[in-house]
Structure 1
Amino acid sequence: MDKDETRLELRREYPDTIEDVWSALTESERTARWIGTWTGEAGVGNTIMLLMTAEEGSEPGPAVIRECDPPKRLVVDLHNTEEPTWRVELTLTSHGTGTVLEFVHRMPKPEWDTSDIAKGWHFYLDRLGASLVGEPVPEWDTYTPPSLDV
């Protein structure tokens, strides 16, 4: 690992098929259920606009698709106005009848504690899991992550 880079790694197992998890990660009507909506033309090198709907007062932000290998891997650079670019890598593998999601968030080493960022990604991945099984998604104000070990 680069000493100037922070790398958060999370692993989740979902009972759903790899195709269903892929769909929940990539189709705007399904991403709306757990993280937000996106507009634009999907494709490697293209920029989409992502509106994170669980973020109060959020404005759509650009996300550049760096890799896309359905239904196994998606890499996106999230451009934040006041922060450096965040690279998010999602790798899916079939595991029995379910799916394992390996989530990696890479960013330049920030000058602040990254525990809020880790809590945020736990929050979103828990919302993804709830949306996959049709349960209500967690709300930030009452959310407690399973663990902040990253």
Structure 2
Amino acid sequence: MNTAVAETDYAVLIASDTVRIERLLPGPIERVWAHLTDSDLRRKWLASGDMQPQAGTSFELVWHNDELTDPPGARPSGFESEHRMQSRITEFDPPRKLAFTWNGSSGGDVSIELEPKGDAVLLTLIHRQLRNRDGMLMVGAGWHMHLDILVARLTGGKPAPFWDGWSRLRTEYGRRIPA
């Protein structure tokens, strides 16, 4: 299994409280959009949770990271087998943009934009209002690993064990994001 990571796969700090991460995915854009908005597809790479297709509606994301890959890898201490988070959609513009609050309104916000690039789709994810460096390390490693799994799902590849990848990436982000 190849664990090499391209430099362009890493999240980058674009403001003191904001990270951006991009991935070029196989299209069409409607297929990628479905993986963002359909609970059954989203649970295979991120978290389940039904969402109504309009701004202003609330939804719950439910993570089962142990089920994302086989094997799941070694879950770090402090993490449970399930995690739930209340969110609210702030923008819903199919198939181009999905934005939502992260952990209600107290944990910042996430925007995901899709842009066709020939037969591919550029996904740009921006996570704003991260409160501290530890949050940036967690979010950077988390989004990075979840998007790696999305790439594998869309290309028919086998993703690396989630928790092992997350732990490795958390350490790497510790070197990349200034103290």
TM range (shorter): 0.7 to 0.9
What are the equivalent positions in structure 2 for 1:3-82 lying under 5 Å apart?
Answer: 6-54=17-65, 56-79=80-103
Structure 1 residue 135, shift from structure 2 partner: 2.5
Aligned residues: 146
Structure 1 residue 78, shift from structure 2 partner: 1.7
Any stretches of 5+ residues in structure 2 without a counterpart? 1-14, 66-78
- Of 111, 115, 121, the residue aligned with 1:89 is 111
Any stretches of 5+ residues in structure 1 without a counterpart? none
How far apart in 1 are the matches of 2:55 and 2:135?
Answer: 32
Structure 1 residue 113, shift from structure 2 partner: 6.2
3-state DSSP class of the match of 2:83?
coil
Contact kept? 2:60, 2:87, Cα under 8 Å: yes
Structure 1 residue 111, shift from structure 2 partner: 5.7
Contact kept? 1:42, 1:48, Cα under 8 Å: no
Cα deviations across residues 93-120 of structure 1 (Å, max 9, x unaligned)?
0001110011100024326362232111
The structure richer in strand per residue is 1
The structure richer in helix per residue is 2
Contact kept? 2:38, 2:50, Cα under 8 Å: no
User: In the alignment, which residue of structure 1 is the partner of 2:129?
Assistant: 107
3-state DSSP class of the match of 1:39?
coil
How far apart in 2 are the matches of 1:129 and 1:108?
Answer: 25
| RMSD (Å) for aligned C-alpha atoms | 2.7
Equivalent AA in structure 2 for residue 117 of structure 1: V
3-state DSSP class of the match of 1:38?
coil
User: In the alignment, which residue of structure 2 is the partner of 1:124?
Assistant: 146
- Runs of 4+ aligned residues of structure 1 deviating over 4 Å after TM superposition are 147-150
Cα deviations across residues 19-51 of structure 1 (Å, max 9, x unaligned)?
111011111110011012103534210101110
Moved more, 52-61 or 13-22: 52-61
